[in-house]
Amino acid sequence: MPAEPPFEQLAQLAQWHERKSDPLARPFLRGAEILCHMESAALFRRMIGNRESMDPARLRLSGPLPLDAPGQWCERHGYRCISGVGAVGVMAQRGDEPPIVARLGDTLLWDGARIIVQERADGLAHHPAVPGRMAIMTTERVNVRVLLLFGDQAEVVADVSPEERAEPERYTAADIAAAVGVTVGELPGATLTAEVGDDGRLTGWQQR
């Protein structure tokens, strides 16, 4: 049995487990082994996210963050988290102010008086709130990947690099299969698109 490579950072260890849990790259692994690697990767990602969320001045919305971290960070500064979606971002509001909308990859910054959003590399603009982006966020079509099947449920993640992924969310496998015209057994590894609803849940599944 080959020795495991040395790891200097938690992110490297998480990535190793994520590679081991890819059912397409390692179809010979049993389901229990894949699940063990997935759970280990999620644990290390959560440890990384917990460490990153401790900074009160900034919070980057990235896959390793625990799902409740953006809400807790916003509440620390007097904002109420309206919704937080692992695959898309977060929406928060303070009193009657316009809501703040940030996507996955953006960074929330506290300037001492309010939260501003530093957009990810495709924007890099600062804004305290962009109400127009709320409609964009709630109707945005995102790329997703089906990881595994657990009973009648399919585990779905954003189709981004493993280090950017949030924890998988579960959806009824039969509903997804019917929408995209495949059998349930063909779902693992499938790359799809879906619409993000107001409640943060994915619908409107389509093949890519």
Domain boundaries, the chain: 9-52, 56-133, 140-208
Q: Model's pTM, two decimal places?
A: 0.48
**Domain 140-208, second-level architecture:** Beta Barrel (2.40)
pLDDT confidence of 179, banded at 50, 70, 90?
very high
Task: Name the band, by pLDDT with cuts 50, 70 and 90, for residue 163.
Answer: low
Q: Which residues share a beta bridge with 143?
A: 193
pLDDT digits (tens, 9 = 90+) for 75-124: 889 998 876 554 457 888 899 888 888 887 788 999 999 999 988 765 43
Alpha helices in the chain (DSSP H): 10-20, 31-52, 69-76, 132-139, 173-180
State the Cα–Cα distance between residues 208 and 38, nearest whole angstrom.
Answer: 25
Distance CA 175, CA 43 (A): 29
- Residue 63, pLDDT above cutoff 70: no
User: In the predicted model, what is the mean pLDDT of residues 134-138?
Assistant: 38
Calculate mean pLDDT across residues 35-62.
77
Are 135 and 145 in contact by the 8 Å Cβ rule? The answer is no
Q: What does each C-alpha distance from 135 to 125, 131, 139 come to in angstroms?
A: 19, 8, 6
Distance CA 155, CA 147 (A): 6
